[in-house]
Amino acid sequence: MKSDIAFVHAPSIYDFRRRPLKEGPIGDVVPSTPLFEMYPVGFVSMLNHALEEGFSGRISNLAVLMLSDDTFDVERYLKGVDADIYGIDLHWLPHVHGAFNVAKVIKRIHPDKKVVFGGFSSSYFAEEILAANEAVDYVLAGDLLEKQMNSLIDAVQRESNLEGVPNLVYRRNGRIVRNPPLKDPDPTAAEFINYQILVKNSIKYHDVKGHLPYYSWITNPTGMTLVQHGCQLNCGFCGGSNFAYKNHYNYISPLRRDPSRVAEEIEVVKETINSPVFIAGDLNLMGEKYYTTLFEEIKNRGIDLPLLTEYFAPPGEDYFHTFSKYVPQFMCEISPDSSNQKIRSETGRYYSNSELEKSIDTARKYGSRKFDVYFSIGLPLQRKSDVLDDTDYLEKLIASHG
């Protein structure tokens, strides 16, 4: 069945089934496998907005399809995905190999159709991508691109001038041109992470696996929403930091989402898949007014789903007290990255181990069902001995606060 747009998600390494891979460690509790088969929620929101405006569209999670079946034939499948535009996410850099290889395959199979890249890495490297990759026609640079994607579909279908497509980077007369970003007084208005459309689309296109957000979603589903775009902090390694976001993707960072909209998305998860929901963004850092409004919205809508929440700094008593009043089941996670506070502050996080431990204890006191704590390797100043110290610290942390 033909569609106006197909959002295609590649595995991090395109030919992972044929080459011996030494995968780097990622947390066991992260739903995605090392092939990073989880597509960005922006796919769901852009698809939703395209459908709202009368376009047709689908998601093709190639990574899940390839992981599910060793004999899955990518080229045969893509021949059956007939669209005017193929949108490929290159958000974080691990997807470089997969994204470019899938673009080449699509262009070979559908030479007259357009391939557009999007995501933070694509936005940052847009000119370089277009200069070196004939298989990529456009990059939609920036964040919150629902309206811009619809403008692009419209322009491609009408074969009209691309100058009117905000945020678009493209080739014109042998040059690479970057259109100005959309001047939008309400940039989050068109964003809606609507899981209902995944269910409907799976049936419409007879493609359940192609729409799955990640490999184990059927057995271990989790919905997702986010409270902000960009971030309050400036961790040195982060392409989505406050500095990176406002200098490369949008002019405001963090850009807060309407709490009613967030609650509405959680309600859709309840009605559609009735699963836990991961809320991206630090609710505590959003401030008391914001999080209290959101919690009230959640309670007033009768939502009792477990909420998985992330924190960029350890929250205190007031926050957990309020959270537990409104939300019956919640879990927490935080990434101190290193148990060595000097290394941690070098990455841009300025809290102590005792503040972390106190927060874990407080969360438990108020009913948090678990508190996941993430550590990383490859940090500035970090040596092998520091990583080994982390494992000792983790054992102590679990023994005394687990």
* Residue numbers 357-376 binding ligand SF4 by CB under 6 A: none
233 contacts ligand SF4 (rule: CB under 6 A): yes
Judged by beta carbon, residue 242 or residue 329, the one nearer ligand SF4 is 242
The least CB distance from residue 376 to ligand SF4, in Å, is: 10
Say if residues 211 and 201 touch (Cβ distance below 8 Å). yes
From 68-76, 125-133, 226-234, 372-380, span contacting ligand SF4 (CB under 6 A): 226-234
Distances from the Cα of 305 to the Cα of 265, 302, 330, angstroms: 12, 9, 8
- Closest by CA to 48, choosing from 197, 188, 211, 206, is 197
Our finding on whether 188 is near ligand SF4 (CB under 6 A) is no
| Subset of residues 296 to 335 that bind ligand SF4, contact rule: CB under 6 A | 312
235 binds ligand SF4 (CB under 6 A): yes
What lies within 8 Å, CB to CB, of 95 at 6+ separation is 10, 12, 36, 89, 119, 121
Q: Contacting ligand SF4 (CB under 6 A), which of 241, 339, 340, 382? A: 241
Quick one: which segment of 90-98, 215-223, 233-241, 260-268 binds ligand SF4 (CB under 6 A)?
A: 233-241
Give the per-residue contact string, 262-301, with ligand SF4 (x = CB under 6 A; - = no).
----------------------------------------
253 touches ligand SF4 by CB under 6 A? no
Tell me, what DSSP letter sits at residue 238? -
Cβ pair 36, 95 in contact under 8 A? yes
Interface pick for ligand SF4 out of 51, 96, 238, 255 (rule CB under 6 A): 238
Minimal distance in Å, beta carbon 94 to ligand SF4? 15
Cα end-to-end distance, the chain, whole Å: 52
Nearer Cβ to ligand SF4 (7/312): 312
Least distance between ligand SF4 and beta carbon 336 (Å): 11
**Considering the complex, what minimum distance in angstroms separates the CB of residue 235 from ligand SF4?**
3
Select from 365, 113, 366, 335 the least CA-distant residue to 238: 335
Q: Which two tokens stand for residue 61?
A: 């999670």
Q: For the residues of 142-205, what is the DSSP string, one character each?
A: SS--HHHHHHHHHHHHHT--GGGSTTEEEEETTEEEEPPPP--SSTTTT----THHHHHHHHHT
Residues near ligand SF4, by CB under 6 A: 231, 233-235, 238, 240-241, 312
